[in-house]
Structure 1
Amino acid sequence: MKLWILRHGQAESHAATDAERNLTAHGREEVLRSAAQLIGQPISAIIASPYVRAQQTAQLVCEALGFEGEIRTVPWLTPDANPLQVLEQLDSADNLLLVSHQPLVGSLIGLLQHGHLRDPLSMNTASLAELEGDWPLAGLMSLNGVTHP
């Protein structure tokens, strides 16, 4: 299976709540540059945080790829979610794209790659990581690369 993990694009600095922050024009451009890296990839599902900036990021990716599936919105991909609990949710061998936030994305990538939470990966806005392995389990996936827009 392949697993792509995309951090949302740059978002506005203020909104009524953190969850309501929208992407900026620059953030949209960043997302489109990262989405270009996914053209031709066998993505079977897109799973995103419910936060507005992650939803907007996922929607831009869908449009750029012509992805016809629905974006699955889940509460376990928010910024402060527990990476161990995220792994419990990833029980399939499908090729997935996760759209989420720091610090979760960096911690999740470190956990998948190293098997522990002590070495999170630095992820800029709209950074895209590609991991590969038989199952999405701690320490059992290889990091193929990270693209920073």
Structure 2
Amino acid sequence: MKVWILRHGEAKPQARTDADRELTAKGREEVLRSAAHLMGQPLQQIIASPYVRARQTAELVRQVLGFTDPIVTVPWLTPESNPHKVLDQLEAYSDENVLLVSHQPLVGALIGLAVHGSLQEAQPMHTASLAQLEADLPLAGAMELVDVRHAE
């Protein structure tokens, strides 16, 4: 299984709620640069946080890749979600190659847990940073961090 983890692009600092924050023009540009690294990859699912900025990020990636399947929006990819529960949820996708679109601190903690088996070794992830992990199964400490690309 291959898992790509993409942090949303830069978002506006203010909105009615944190979940309602939208991408800025710079954030859209960041996402487009990161999406280019997914061209030609065997992606089968795009799974996103329900927050507006993550859904906008996922939709931009979907458009760039010409991905025809709908984006799957799940409640377990919000900023404060439990990384252990995310790995548990990923078991349902263990036969697929998926892109997760989410937020800090979750994405950094999730990568640290998947690769090192610990929440104490979080991976730094800037806006629109893209990480690629591989493993037979999504288990804590059993995944390999193949690559991390930061939007410039």
Does the alignment reach a TM-score above 0.5? Answer: yes
1:114 is aligned to 116
Instruction: List alignment gaps of at least 5 residues for structure 2.
Output: none
1:102 is aligned to 104
* Equivalent-residue separation in structure 2 for 1:119 and 1:93 (angstroms): 27
- Runs of 4+ that moved beyond 3 A: none
1:11 is aligned to 11
TM-score, scaled to structure 2: 0.97
Distance apart, 1:35 and its partner CA: 0.1
CA-atom RMSD, angstroms?
0.5
1:46 paired to 2:46: yes
Distance apart, 1:116 and its partner CA: 1.3
1:65 is aligned to 65
Distance apart, 1:93 and its partner CA: 2.5
**What does the per-residue CA deviation read over 1:33-77, in whole Å, with 9 as the maximum and x for residues that have no partner?**
000000000000000000000000000000000001110000000
* Equivalent-residue separation in structure 1 for 2:87 and 2:148 (angstroms): 20
* Equivalent-residue separation in structure 2 for 1:62 and 1:144 (angstroms): 22
**SS in structure 1 opposite 2:41?**
coil
TM-score, scaled to structure 1: 0.99
**SS in structure 2 opposite 1:70?**
coil
- Out of 113, 133, 136, the position equivalent to 1:131 is 133
| Amino acid of the structure 2 residue aligned with 1:86 | V
* Equivalent-residue separation in structure 2 for 1:136 and 1:42 (angstroms): 17
May I ask how many residue pairs the two structures share in their alignment?
Answer: 149
* Equivalent-residue separation in structure 1 for 2:84 and 2:95 (angstroms): 17
| Amino acid of the structure 2 residue aligned with 1:9 | G
* Equivalent-residue separation in structure 2 for 1:15 and 1:32 (angstroms): 23
2:79 is aligned to 79
Contact 1:93 1:136 in 2 (8 A): no
The sequence identity of aligned pairs, in percent, is 66
Distance apart, 1:137 and its partner CA: 0.8
* Equivalent-residue separation in structure 2 for 1:145 and 1:42 (angstroms): 16
Contact 1:10 1:125 in 2 (8 A): yes
2:95 is aligned to 93
